[in-house]
Structures are given as C-alpha cells and as structure tokens.
Amino acid sequence: MWQIKPKRWVLLTVAFLVLASLLMGCAKSKVKETAPINIVQAGQLQPAPAGAQPTGWDTAESIRGGLKLVATYDSSGPDAWDVKAHPTVYFTSLGGKGSDGQDLFAGLYIVDAYSKAVVKSASYNLGDYKVSPHTVGVSPDGKWAYLMGGRTVDGKNEDVTLIINTRTLKLDKVLKQESMFQGSLRVQRLHHVMSFVDNKGGDRVVLEYGFGSNGGPHFIIDPKDDNRVVKAITVEDTGYWMGHPFLTVDPARKFLYVGLKIAAWADKVEGVGGLAKINLDTWAVTIIPGIGQHLIGMAHTADGKFLYVNDAENSMTYKIDTTTNQVVGKTSCGVAGCYGLAMNWDESELYTIGKGEGSHNTGSNVGVIDLKNFQTKRGIINPISLLDPNDMLSARSLDHGMLHPDPKVNELWVSNMAGNATIVLDLATRTVKGRIPNPNGGTSTHSGAFVQYNADWTGKVLADHGGPQPEMYTTRLAIVQKAAAAAPR
C-alpha cells in the first residue's frame, strides 16, 4: 500500500501577461505583449500522519489501471484572473524553451476567446525536472485543469499528472500512472485530456496516457468526486493493444471511441489499426477493424451518424458509419502525417492538421477535405500554409485544431507543438487571422479547451480535444440542416 510522501515545498510560478494590441486582419499580424510579471507562491504538500492508511482516494478501477494519488495541496486562495472581464476563454499548454533559451517548467496559459489577449499563465516547479506538456484539459464545470507535468523526488525525476484549481491556478493534486506492461513496471505520461457530461448527467474527464502506438491505460474520472477514477480502460477491456491516445465520445454521449493497433504485425501488414467502441452504460466493446496503421484525430458529425478518423502513418482520412460500424470511405488527408481533425460549421469541409506525424514531425499546413464528395478540396489553395516565412517557429509541428465555439467568429484555433504561438485561422478566407504568442517566449503549445464562465465561477466546457460539447453540436446541426434546406434540388 502506498502513502502520500512527507512534506515537500513546491514553487508555483504564475506569470501575468497583458497583450497591448488585438489580433486583427492580416496573416502576419501578431499581438504584442508586455513584459511578464512573475509572482511566486508557496504550495505545501499535506503530509500523511505516521501509520496512515490509504487516503480513500483509491478505487478498484484506479488500482486496476495503476493510477495513484501521490501528493495533495491546498489550492484555495485569491482569484488568479478576472472571470468577469474574460467570461469565455481558451486554455492551452505551455512548454518548450523560454525567451532566455532555458527549458520551461510545465505550464498552461489562458486566452480571452474574443480579444485574443493572454489573460494569465502559470508554470509549475516541482523540482529540477522540466517537461514540455502535450495537453491541458478542463473538467465539464470549468473548475479543474489537468496538465502533463514532472517532479523530482529524492533526486529522481517522475512523470506525473497535475490537477489545478482553475480559479486560483494553484495545484490541488498530483497523480502518477504506473502499471505492469509486458512483464515489467511501466510509467505512462499523460498525453491528452477530454471531458464530457454523460447521458445520465454525470461529469466525466478522460485522462489519456501514453505516446506513440502503445497508448493506455486511460481513465474516466469524476471531477465532482475528488477526481476519483470511475473506470480504467486497459488492454484487458479492449482486447487489443491501444494505439495513440486520442479518444472521443459521440454527440449523444453513449459511446467512447478508443484507437487500437495490432502492434505485433504492424511492420508486416497493412490495416492493423482499428477502433474500440465502448458502450458507456454497459462497458460492452465493439471492434471496428481495418482502419489504417496509426490512428489519431477523430471528428463526429453533429447528428452522430459518421465518424472521421485520421491515419497519420499513411496520411489518409477514413469515414466510419457509426450505425453499421463499417468503414464506408477513405481519402487523402491532403497533408503529411495528419494529426488533429475538425469540421466547419455547416459540415461541408473537414480540416486535417498536418503535423508530419511519423515522418518529419515539423508540419505547418492544414488540409481541406470536401465532405460533399469526400475528396481533397479543389479550386482553393490547398493545403493552407500557416507558416510565416520570416519566422520558422511560427508554425512548426502543428497538432490540434479546435473550432471556436461562436459561429459568428468562424475560426479554427491551431496548437503548435514546436512553435511559438497559437494560430488563428479564418475559415471564411482560409488565411491566418492572427497569432497569439506563447507567454515567456515558450516554444510549445498542444491541445486545449474553450470554457465559458459566469461571474460566480460556475462554468462549462464548450469544446476541447475530444470535440464540441452538446451545445455546439446542437448549433452546428441547425446550421447543417438550414444549409441543406437552402441547397438547390
């Protein structure tokens, strides 16, 4: 049995940045930023008393999947940012190297979704270990953020998951995943996070672990029950080796889709990728086989009838009929190593984020698929380059694309794993509308979430790594139906 470690001090470094001008118009425009104000706060580990039993945080599922609570903190305190001034925001991760050329501690930053000003940033110093996080996610009510991080304990570096109070930006918990894999003990790093409200009204967050094609285990947690584990998803559940951790739920919140890979034959045959379609009521698993080699991005139509999936290794996009659970089409991504995937508001176009996954890994393009004929769109400049030729870090290793939750804005926000900004793509003109520089000169941002808050700090996620939430799906479906009704017959 484990116990929480003895008392340790951790520095939570919070940097506040105000942007001097707004992103408007031209493709090369950048928001200028003032110098960061660094605020150092002390957070204290709550020690376990001598002879203490397990905390009670553990569940049978957390134990089965190997997710442990290794530290707790007092995350209460003053508000870190003004929610009244910034009711709709975008959370994204922050890492890479800072403006001084030194590696940054794992962090996050918050952007006003309309002014595009950076509202606040925070980096978490838990010792000497610095990691560049590949995700940040937010609980459905907006209360908690989940970040890939690292810590140093007794001179040893550990990969951990940070749970952060979004109101104070202070640490609340540190988790660590560790379980047996192929006969030895393995620690997996948090890679992606998504959240949803299930069809019974329960808030859920999915922590997705692993890198490459040996993903998992994954965990469904309840953010309103002290972020305890409700369900672990392991190879024993899916029956097959899980692939790259990029999970989604359908618009009706009835099924969870998990990428698979039959790794033992991956270098010998084609079509080793597949999906595990998990019933969220019964946990029954349906396998959808024969989907490329290395599945990553997924996107659902608003009516839930079709699911699109990227095969990064072969740069193809597949179309799945979710009623018959059959592949009904495939086409070129239009970019090399397609990673993220997103649809526009009337579902006439599908955007493939060209990361160069599995090859050069420095992609800077977005492909456009015409969903009327499910082919790479013709008659436009395609793919769309997001690179500023005067700044090679302006678009480097693009990964996720998220549709802004307001259809009047009509933007796609693109994260930039080895670049220096979040990129805003105008979907009407298919040009870069602006770039939101990473705070502290950071050279990495990955994934994110749009969140709407009320003045009392109650909130809701509108869209994240897993796709839109039901409110956005409802709006999109109405736009799709209106467009269909207006189309010539």
Structural domain contains residue 108: yes
Structural domain contains residue 405: yes
d(CA 381, CA 335) in angstroms, rounded, equals: 13
Instruction: Decide: helix, strand or coil at residue 202.
Output: coil
Structural domain contains residue 364: yes
β-sheet bridge partners, residue 156 = 153
Structural domain contains residue 216: yes
Which residue shows structure tokens 């039959």?
Answer: 262
Query: Residue 439 is encoded by which pair of tokens?
Result: 């705070």
Structural domain contains residue 443: yes
Considering the entire predicted model, what is its pTM?
Answer: 0.91
DSSP string, 331-370: EE-SSSSEEEEEE-TTSSEEEEEE--TTTT----EEEEEE
CB of 438 closer than 8 Å to CB of 94: yes
Structural domain contains residue 2: no
Listed in sequence order, the residues at least 6 apart from 264 whose beta carbon sits closer than 8 Å to its beta carbon are 241
Looking up residue 466, the CATH number of its domain turns out to be 2.130.10.10
3-state secondary structure 262-277: CHHHCCCCCCCEEEEE
Alpha-carbon distance values, 166 to 79, 81, 170, 423, 457 (Å): 9, 9, 8, 23, 9
d(CA 387, CA 316) in angstroms, rounded, equals: 23
Count CB-CB contacts under 10 A for residue 282. Answer: 7
Alpha carbon of residue 22 to chain centroid: 25
Structural domain contains residue 292: yes
Over residues 414-462, the pLDDT tens digits come to 999 999 999 999 999 999 999 999 999 999 999 999 999 999 999 999 9
Structural domain of residue 149, as residue ranges? 9-24+31-48+57-486
- Phi-psi region at 282: left, alpha or beta (left = phi > 0; alpha = psi -120 to 50): alpha
d(CA 330, CA 270) in angstroms, rounded, equals: 14
Of 383, 336, 382, which Cα lies nearest the Cα of 360? Answer: 336
Count: domains in the chain: 1
Structural domain contains residue 3: no
Over residues 209-248, the pLDDT tens digits come to 998 778 899 999 999 999 999 999 999 999 998 999 999 9
What does each of the 489 residues of the chain score in pLDDT, given as a tens digit? 333 333 344 444 443 333 333 333 333 344 444 333 333 333 444 444 444 455 689 999 999 999 999 999 999 999 999 999 999 999 999 999 999 999 999 999 999 999 999 999 999 999 899 999 999 999 999 999 999 999 999 999 999 999 999 999 999 999 999 998 888 999 999 999 999 999 999 999 999 999 877 889 999 999 999 999 999 999 999 999 899 999 999 999 999 999 998 766 666 777 789 999 999 999 999 999 999 988 999 999 999 999 999 999 999 999 999 999 999 999 999 999 999 999 999 999 999 999 999 888 999 999 999 999 999 999 999 999 999 999 999 999 999 999 999 999 999 999 999 999 999 999 999 999 999 999 999 999 999 999 999 999 999 999 999 999 999 999 999 999 999 999 988
